[in-house]
Amino acid sequence: MTDGLPPTLEEIETIAHDTVEALPEAFRGPARTVAIRVEDFPSDDMLASLDIDSPFELTGLYEGIPLTEKSVFDQPGGPDVIWLFRRPILDEWADRGDVEIGALVAHVMVHELAHHFGWSDDDIASIDRWWE
């Protein structure tokens, strides 16, 4: 991030990829198969499908079939995708005022990866020390 300005879409994507590379080795390879998309806001269709009124309420979204539920009979229609939404993340960052933006983006990314891997809360806590 440059000049004290909020991170760009590309900078948030870089943080997300860095988060994947920092995962324990057993998860890194499978996490690399998930596409990462960063937009300013979720689409109206995404919000409607989740019954969310405000686009500021959604910081990230996992689209795909969790590894714990995949079958050899599943026909892939493309890669699983993790969406990160810049403006809601920035709003949360500003509201908190006590966390670095990179840590917040990493936290959202790990939370979405948890959906992909089918992790429990304990699994998440062992990787994301956010709440310590």
**Whole-number average pLDDT of the chain:** 88
pLDDT tens digits for 16-49? 999 999 998 989 999 999 999 999 999 999 999 9
Mean predicted confidence (pLDDT) in 85-94: 96
CA distances from 98 to 6, 34, 92, 93, 104 (A): 15, 30, 10, 8, 10
pTM: 0.87
What angle separates helix 86-96 from helix 101-117, to the nearest 10 degrees? 120
Name the architecture of domain 9-64+78-127: 2-Layer Sandwich (3.30)
Q: What pLDDT sits at residue 77?
A: 74
CA distance 21 to 15: 10
* Whether the predicted pLDDT of 126 surpasses 80: no
Give residue-wise pLDDT tens across range 100-121.
999 999 999 999 999 898 877 7
pLDDT given at position 33 = 92
Checking if the pLDDT of 84 tops 80, the result is yes
Q: What does the pLDDT read at residue 42?
A: 97
pLDDT of residue 67: 80
Structural contact between residues 60 and 112, judged by C-beta atoms closer than 8 angstroms: yes
Q: Please say if the pLDDT value at position 62 is more than 70.
A: yes
**What pLDDT shows up at residue 3?**
64
